[in-house]
Amino acid sequence: MSDPVTPAAPANRFRDSLSNGEFVLLVESSSPSLSNDPIAAGERLAAFEEAVLSVSNVNTALAVTDRYLSLDAWRAVEYANALREENRDRHVIYLSGRNTTGEELRQLSDAAAKSRLFNVVPVSGNCVPGDTLRECRKRVFSESVGVIRNLAERKEPFFLGGTTNPYAYTPFTMMGQYFKLVKKLNAGASFVVAQAGWDMLKLQSLRWYFSGRSLFYPMIARLVLLTPNLVEKILAGEYPGINISPDFQKILEKELRYSLNQFEAAQYRRLELQAAGCRLLGFSGIQLAGAETPGRAKIAAERIGNALREFNSFDSWLEEYNSYLARAEMSPFTGSFYLYDHTLRRAYPDEEIPVARDFGEPEITPGEKFRFKLRRFLFPHADRQRAESRRLLKKLFASCRGCSSCRLPKTEFICTEGCPKRLPNGPCGGVKPHGNCEIAPGECVHSRIVRLAHWNGTLPALEDEILDSGRDD
């Protein structure tokens, strides 16, 4: 009797490039507004694809983002249908959970599978710029961890990415991001995309932390080609999770003082240096934002390709990087937390694994301690009981909002429904560098959970279990 024939997995050049150690440059294209004529928008995407793929000195592909800053936009899955069929295994598409129910995500996943768009990065999504807290709370945010798990369980060969924001500057905000990323990897993500930023020390910390834990997943750093308009919008907070430090802002203002051409030349050089640095720090690729016309995308990609050749030793890169940035401080405030000493003095820990810095004593107020102890006393097994059980008490003492799945004992007895996006598994990428919420006043619910867990000695347990959403859909 002959063996049953297993159908061969479809080709996936993006996945193969990452596993073969071939540096990848993904150039971002955002899905356009719904008011665009779909045929014309499709033709523009095809022209963009052609320009990016025509670059020969680096391995290029596209990353199609999904309703990144607006709701009035095509879904990336639909828009990416304009990409040439034979190239789709090179590209990556994003799948945003904002304003998207579980059922809609299933339909979008079906559509992605049908179009053979298998390289997918699910994200929970940002608040819509201009949204009030109330409006944001009313939106559905399907959390990326659950979406990754669902896609990984499907029969189609999805190759999934998990995003993280490494630019977090308190120990608890940073660990919240790292723990959530571990959950994404455990849920089925096979590669990582880091949020955009300019602090190379933070990118290196991310690499060191995950390598130190033997989590050798390919990582892609998102970099931005800045324009004056983009700088203004970032400074105005229109790009949640992306921050320009005061020092860096001064440099940008100086670059803008002379001419637009000079500003542009400075941005290209910065991009080249960052891209080359990322490769030397062990990143598997970069994802370039801000180059959304075929001409700019092509120039930026070619220049990045040249820079990858220009710098082939960490020391020569570091010398140029330091002289170019004049050692500008890229952290947003003084006293920022960095996990390791000696970052950017060497690319990799050569002899010994670097020792992480101590987090210090977390500041826990007497009120927080009291509330924690009271909730633990009242609801020790709430996660094993029906969600409605003791609802009134939970409402009084744990700000219960009446969701369908109680997770209190797993989240230091802080209800994650207090997060405006109702994310159960960890902070979103929009969390502010000092740990405040993207949209609500005060500390991010998940930074608070990490802080309490550190005080309580239960930090490692935070990444153990993927928690279900408390939403019914």
The residues that touch ligand SF4, with contacts defined as CB under 6 A, are 419-421, 423, 427-428, 430-431, 437-440, 444-446
Quote the least distance from Cβ 127 to ligand SF4, whole Å: 7
Of 52, 67, 68, 63, give the one whose Cα is nearest residue 92. Answer: 63
Smallest Cα–Cα separation from 324: which of 269, 276, 275?
269
Closest distance to ligand SF4 from the beta carbon of 40 (Å) = 36
Least CB distance to ligand SF4 at residue 97 (A): 12
**Of 125 and 305, CB closest to ligand SF4:** 125
Residue with smaller CB distance to ligand SF4, 44 or 471: 471
Please state whether beta strands 59-65 and 119-123 pair in parallel, antiparallel, or not at all (unpaired).
unpaired
The torsion region of residue 227 among left (phi > 0), alpha (psi -120 to 50) and beta comes to beta
Nearer to ligand SF4, 137 or 303 (CB): 137
* Beta carbon nearer to ligand SF4, 143 or 255: 143
Cross-strand pairs, 287: 26, 222
- What's the Cα-to-Cα distance from 207 to each of 282, 307, 344, 347, rounded to whole Å? 7, 21, 12, 10
What token pair was written down for 250? 């001064």
Q: How far is the CB of 442 from ligand SF4 (least distance, A)?
A: 9
Q: Of the two residues 222 and 446, which places its CB atom closer to ligand SF4 in the complex? A: 446
Closest distance of CB 287 from ligand SF4, Å: 21
Shortest gap between Cβ of 403 and ligand SF4 (angstroms)?
Answer: 14
- Closer CB to ligand SF4, 194 or 437, in the complex: 437
Smallest gap from residue 138 Cβ to ligand SF4 (A): 13
Q: How far is the CB of 431 from ligand SF4 (least distance, A)?
A: 4
Q: How far is the CB of 136 from ligand SF4 (least distance, A)?
A: 8
CB closer to ligand SF4, 65 vs 416? 416
If the CB atoms of residues 318 and 445 are measured against ligand SF4, the closer one turns out to be: 445
Instruction: State which residue, 300 or 423, has the beta carbon closest to ligand SF4.
Output: 423
Nearer to ligand SF4 (CB atom), residue 41 or residue 431: 431
Whole-angstrom distance, CA of residue 343 vs CA of residue 357: 12
Write the CA distances from 382 to 286, 386, 423, 424, integer angstroms.
43, 8, 18, 15
Q: Based on CB atoms, which residue is closest to ligand SF4, 224 or 414? A: 414
In the complex, the smallest distance separating the C-beta of residue 18 from ligand SF4, rounded to whole angstroms, is 28
Give CA angle at 306 (305, 307), nearest 5°. 90
Q: Which is nearer to ligand SF4, 96 or 109 (CB)?
A: 96
Closest Cα to residue 122, out of 138, 139, 98, 103? 98
Distance of CA 39 to the CA centre of its chain: 31
CB of 447 to ligand SF4, least distance (A): 7
Smallest distance from ligand SF4 to CB 310, Å: 39
